[in-house]
């Protein structure tokens, strides 16, 4: 038996656990791992030279496939370059199994090349760190190595999923002799089987009773992958308890679902970044919940977070099957250990008027299929120089406060009214004539043409914020992703590339800004085709977000030390990596190029659309928008 046989068995253990994809970066110390993974017949092994990009590509693969991906790197700072993606995977709960090759322990701190302190390299940003034996001459050491790799893979998938490190100290020789074959032994596999958590019937009855007795129930969804069963349960729950459901774009509650999907009465709401900044006490008090129910991870909407802290609910239930729970709004009163879909279904199962399997119980639209917008004036017709506007009307403080006398939908009405007004307002403001070319409107026009079934990736900084304000067209089936675990810009390109590799038949669209894009150019430094990838780059030649947020935009150091202006364009990047290149600097150019940009390519190349705007113009237009929101209340 080869002295490295337990190392050669690692790919077989991965394959037996259902891992199909491996991303590795070349190195010498990692050669035994590289060769063993590369020669395994059941694994797709991709080489990405830049470890930071490689880790985010692995994250994108795991995010799309919803199963672990293995990363392999050499010793030294190579593993440290994985750290941003490991942290993102930890907070976004994405399973990664990170194999870091290492020097043997006797050479740590002895000035040997590519040698750092690698055990527990990611600290509390990994679920666990495992250390393999350095010597396998004893049978116990071989058993230990197999056991630890099994434990690591199982732990990466156990809720909450996340990254684990397996540190692999290796002594020379690393390479098999000429003609020597790698053998994969039969390996012992330990699978973990987990069951769905259920609440006792008596506890469910208590929760149902509280729901029936509480007229102002609000559901807020954090970041969450698309789950059709959950969406159907949410719509039925909202209809049964007259509870508004609110979610950012990354909560993926915007998609139509069920044969009787009705946007007017059961669809979750997503315009909170617009109407939550309206400075009207009557409206804000009318939106206040008594019971807040949350699930999922982070929120984009600072306005919603601030509102729920300023107008706290009396009770706050958070639904999460396991793991630590954040008290984001400082109101947490109950943690319910269930999957969200199972929780809402269990609550509905106890309501005889809403059979759990009957989607026809969802209220439907009227015969004309209309979607009334409550509380908004009719849109004004656009004339040559008129702006399209809508105004939000409200009855004033104290309206609908007598819950006993109020109609059943007294709490949903103000939420629907505000959301409908915000939808009309944004559309009217961004379609007004004779506006300057700006990134806010450019993104709005691009989002209207996103293909169905797209995986839409939103880069951090302004791209994700703009998209959350704008939303997607009604009925759009795009699934939305963003690295909001840590909200960094460092791997946005790479994560989208990983998604494109994972799902080659699915359109993958990345919306990004210039700083995030140029920071992560090495995402494209690999040899694998991604013809389904479309990158929309908003290039304002600066960190434009700093002109839009209070604090830096008022400082004299804005341009040099915050915006860090640059003159780069993406044309050379497109040439370097074989991307089809499109550009637009006016609305006419943008409207002309978007259909061709989104269309499938006969050349089989990814496409990059660079939209060039001016940072100062963007800031001025966005300030006009914010002022209009504040003053469009009557």
Residue with tokens 């600072």: 302
**What is the pLDDT at residue 109?**
84
Token couple for 40: 């395994």
Residue 9 pLDDT more than 50?
yes
**What is the pLDDT at residue 364?**
32
Residue 574 pLDDT more than 80?
yes
pLDDT band with cut points at 50, 70 and 90 for residue 173: confident
Q: How far apart are CA 534 and CA 554, in angstroms?
A: 36
pLDDT band with cut points at 50, 70 and 90 for residue 400: very low
Residue 486 pLDDT more than 50?
yes
**How many CB atoms are located within 10 Å of the residue 309 CB?**
12
Residue 157's SS3 state is helix
Query: What's the mean per-residue pLDDT of the chain?
Result: 88
Residue of 161, 176, 152 lying closest to 100 (CA atoms): 152
Residue 565 pLDDT more than 90?
no
Token couple for 604: 């089989």
Token couple for 366: 């009227």
pLDDT band with cut points at 50, 70 and 90 for residue 456: very high
Residue of 291, 290, 221, 275 lying closest to 249 (CA atoms): 221
Give the neighbor-by-neighbor strand order of the sheet with 607-612.
Answer: 479-482, 455-458, 508-513, 533-539, 607-612, 580-584
Render pLDDT for 197-248 as a digit per residue (tens, 0 to 9). 888 999 999 999 999 999 999 999 999 999 999 999 999 999 999 999 999 9
Residue 406 pLDDT more than 60?
no
Q: How far apart are CA 24 and CA 233, in angstroms?
A: 41
Residue with tokens 């809402």: 344
pLDDT band with cut points at 50, 70 and 90 for residue 57: very high
**What is the pLDDT at residue 178?**
80
Q: Minimum mean pLDDT among 179-193, 321-335, 392-406, 592-606: which range?
A: 392-406
Render pLDDT for 94-111 as a digit per residue (tens, 0 to 9). 999 999 999 999 888 888
Strand partners, 23: 46, 71
Residue 159 pLDDT more than 90?
yes
**What is the pLDDT at residue 623?**
93
**What is the pLDDT at residue 547?**
65
pLDDT band with cut points at 50, 70 and 90 for residue 513: very high
Q: How far apart are CA 340 and CA 34, in angstroms?
A: 40
**What is the pLDDT at residue 262?**
54
Residue 522 pLDDT more than 80?
yes
Residue 352 pLDDT more than 60?
no
Residue 260 pLDDT more than 60?
no
Q: How far apart are CA 412 and CA 420, in angstroms?
A: 12
Strand partners, 18: none
Within 8 A by CB and 6+ apart from 525, the residues are: 48, 49, 50, 53, 577
119 vs 376, higher pLDDT: 119
pLDDT band with cut points at 50, 70 and 90 for residue 541: confident
**Region of 56 on the Ramachandran plot (φ > 0 left; ψ -120 to 50 alpha; else beta):** alpha
pLDDT band with cut points at 50, 70 and 90 for residue 564: confident
Residue of 444, 441, 384, 463 lying closest to 621 (CA atoms): 441
The number of residues making up the chain comes to: 634
**What is the pLDDT at residue 552?**
66
Residue of 335, 352, 396, 345 lying closest to 237 (CA atoms): 345
Radius of gyration of the chain (CA): 27
């Amino acid at each position: 038996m080869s002295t490295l046989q337990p190392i050669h068995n690692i790919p077989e253990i991965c394959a037996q656990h259902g891992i199909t994809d491996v991303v590795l970066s070349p190195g010498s110390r990692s050669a035994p791992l590289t060769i063993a993974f590369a020669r395994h017949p059941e694994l797709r092994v991709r080489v990405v030279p830049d470890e930071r990009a490689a880790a985010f590509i692995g994250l994108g693969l795991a995010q799309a496939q919803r199963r672990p991906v293995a990363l392999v790197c050499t010793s030294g700072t190579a593993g440290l370059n994985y750290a941003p993606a490991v942290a993102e995977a930890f907070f976004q709960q994405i399973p990664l199994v990170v194999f870091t090759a290492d020097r043997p322990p006797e050479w740590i701190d002895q000035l040997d090349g590519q040698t750092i302190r690698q055990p527990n390299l990611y600290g509390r940003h990994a679920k666990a760190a495992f250390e393999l034996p350095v010597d396998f001459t004893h049978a116990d050491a071989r058993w230990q190595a197999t056991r630890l790799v099994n434990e690591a893979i199982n732990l990466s998938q156990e809720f909450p999923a996340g990254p684990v490190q397996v540190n692999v100290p290796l002594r020379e020789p690393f390479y098999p002799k000429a003609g020597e074959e790698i053998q994969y032994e039969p390996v012992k596999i330990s699978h973990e089987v987990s069951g769905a958590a259920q609440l006792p019937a008596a506890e469910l009855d208590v929760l149902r009773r509280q729901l029936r007795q509480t007229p102002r129930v609000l559901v807020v969804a954090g970041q969450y992958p698309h789950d059709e069963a959950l969406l159907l349960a949410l719509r039925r729950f909202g209809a049964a308890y007259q509870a508004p459901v609110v979610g950012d774009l990354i909560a993926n509650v915007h998609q139509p679902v069920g044969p009787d999907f009705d946007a007017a009465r059961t669809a979750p709401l997503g315009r909170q970044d617009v109407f939550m900044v309206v400075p009207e006490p009557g409206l804000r008090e009318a939106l206040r919940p008594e019971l807040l129910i949350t699930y999922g991870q982070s929120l984009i909407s600072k306005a919603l977070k601030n509102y729920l802290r300023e107008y706290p609910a009396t009770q706050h239930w958070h639904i999460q099957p396991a793991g630590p729970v954040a008290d984001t709004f400082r109101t947490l009163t109950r943690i319910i250990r269930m999957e969200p879909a199972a929780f809402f279904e269990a609550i509905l199962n106890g309501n005889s008027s809403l059979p759990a399997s009957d989607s026809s119980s969802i209220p439907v639209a009227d015969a004309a299929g209309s979607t009334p917008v409550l509380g908004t004036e009719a849109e004004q017709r656009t004339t040559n120089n008129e702006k399209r506007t809508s105004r939000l009307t409200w009855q004033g403080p104290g309206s609908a406060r007598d819950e006993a006398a109020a109609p059943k939908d007294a709490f949903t009405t103000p939420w629907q009214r505000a959301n409908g007004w915000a939808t009309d307002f944004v559309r009217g403001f961004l379609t007004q004539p004779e506006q300057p070319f700006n990134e806010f409107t450019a993104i709005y026009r691009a989002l209207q043409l996103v293909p169905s079934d797209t995986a839409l990736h939103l880069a951090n900084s302004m791209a994700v914020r703009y998209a959350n304000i704008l939303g997607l067209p009604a009925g759009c089936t795009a699934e939305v992703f963003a690295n909001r675990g840590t909200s960094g810009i460092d791997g946005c390109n790479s994560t989208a590339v990983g998604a494109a590799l994972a799902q080659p038949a699915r359109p993958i669209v990345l919306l990004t800004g210039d700083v995030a894009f140029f920071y992560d150019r090495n995402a494209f430094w690999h040899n694998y085709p991604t013809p389904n990838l479309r990158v929309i780059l908003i290039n304002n030649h600066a960190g434009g977000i700093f002109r839009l947020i209070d604090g830096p935009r008022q400082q004299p150091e804005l341009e040099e030390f915050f915006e860090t202006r640059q003159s780069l364009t993406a044309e050379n990047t497109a040439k370097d990596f074989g991307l089809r290149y499109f550009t637009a600097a006016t609305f006419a150019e943008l409207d002309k190029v978007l259909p061709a940009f989104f269309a499938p390519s006969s050349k089989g190349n990814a496409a990059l659309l660079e939209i060039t705007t001016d940072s100062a113009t963007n800031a001025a237009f966005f300030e006009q928008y914010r002022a209009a929101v504040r003053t469009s209340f009557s």
